[in-house]
Structure 1
Amino acid sequence: MELRHLRYFTAVAESLSFSRASEALGIAQPPLSQQIKALETELNVQLFNRSTHPIQLTIAGQIFLQEARAILLQLDQATRTTQQVDRGYLGKLTLGIHNSFANSHLPGLVAQFHQQFPDVRLEFREVTVVQELELLQNHQIDVVFHRSPAIYQDGMTFNCLPLLEEEFVLVLPENHPLTARAIVPLTDLKGESLILPDLDVLPFYRQVINACRQSGFEPRLDLSIRSGGLITLLSLVATGLGLSVMPAHTQILNRQGVVHRPIQGLQLKRHITLLWRKNEDSPVLNNFIKFFE
């Protein structure tokens, strides 16, 4: 028995006419009648009562019609599902994100992708700079919104798509004297207490320290935040414990008690990129990357 036998039988059963069924199927009536007869022989049952006009389904034929319809429907669903998976319209994608992800325009772009590909299940996993590449390498995430620079290990190979670059600004308590300046020279930070993320967690911030040294002073690092959380940093600055240098996007948080100012003499930018494994054959991932190109 082949699938065509089920289609032939269903066409005849629904029209109760060999002539109309043959016309709908695009085959001659004699071969169609032969195929139905061969099906009855294989099943060892009579599916149609041919003595009436129009022909009628036997009780066995009625049951077989229900089963044949279910099989053909399941086949159609399997075909559509397979095609959707092959085209990247159905599947799952695990995204690595940092705790600052929500404070940017990137969630809006991901939402647009989800609207365009509603049957792709998106899973979000919050990662740190230290662990993101290992998780990517070990297939625990499929793609990561990466903040440069990365902590690479031997044998790691990734594709990279630049998305945006972001400048850094000075964050001060709202009552700090330096808020009177529209732009704060880096040299004015001499003697000020700086609150920075732990350098083992976010080694990128070593560039801030190096910039201070190149400007002729050693920064005061009285506090550090092991988690590297920007919300915590903002809260500490708001209490007056010190100043900090943060990505410009933190301004959209509208944190009360702090003021943001550009820093003259600090040429520091952070690049946001998409990273994914090389030679990855995933239609869903390919669509995600193309969406951001």
Structure 2
Amino acid sequence: MKKFRYILKTMRPKQWIKNFFVFPALLFSKSFTDPRAIGLSVLAFLLFSLGSGTVYIINDVIDRKKDILHPRKCKRPIASGKLKAGEALAAAAMILIGVVAAAAYVSIKFMGILVLYILITILYSLKLKSTPILDILAIAAGFVLRTLSGAVIIGVEASSWLLLCTSALCLFLAANKRKTELETMKEAAGEYKASLGVYTLPFLNQIITVCLTLCIVLYALYTYYTKVPYMMGTTAFVFYGLCRYQLLMAAGELGDNIEVTLLKDKPMVLNLVLWGLSCLAIIWKFY
């Protein structure tokens, strides 16, 4: 039973909130009125969660020696020695086979996107995360594939504007992630991750500013070209959310477990709920 708990912990269930990126296509295509589309979107979320969980296991096996240097990651089951690398990889292989088989049964196209996501993420763990620029591009690509898969599994066309907006948002988040790691690891940053030895805070701040601006502009253009009345007004929630996020980052209140910490910030959660309800109401009424 302990081994099962360690495997589940290594799969990082708290990080599965990232897989909510499969749902925007359901919302913006107004497919949320179709029970079958809702069920397929939930299935996509579950399969991506299990798929990303297996990649986390593989990543922790690869990084187990480096994680010992990190003040928080050294406590992970594999890095701490509570879970053997062989046991972890065996569990990952079994889960991965089941996930790919289930995805293929639902949709070959969806399976292709899921497999591509897994391959890119494994490549990221092996090489790309140590390569400046390509590391944050790989992170963003993973989120774009999640968004694309959400459209494919319910049989709707993924908007180019939506994919571009997702790209800008995730580049913004990835650059902030690198900035947090750089500030946390300090002198040991380059030893922990090669790309951190190349990045500088001024450079990352520039990337963050560009991507933040780009995300707001792209979202505004996306809502404009949907031709849905009042939809452009939801840009205010996006602006507030991104600025609130950056404010928390500047104040050092997020730490390096950003996704989990954000869910504890009441203004951020309230803003996200209001954005979702506003989009839902506007699309329901006018789309």
Structure with the bigger percentage of strand: 1
With the shorter chain as reference, the TM-score category is under 0.3
Select the structure with the greater relative contact order (CA < 8 A; seq sep ≥ 6): 1
> Rg: which structure is higher?
1
Structure with the bigger percentage of helix: 2
TM-score (norm 2): 0.24
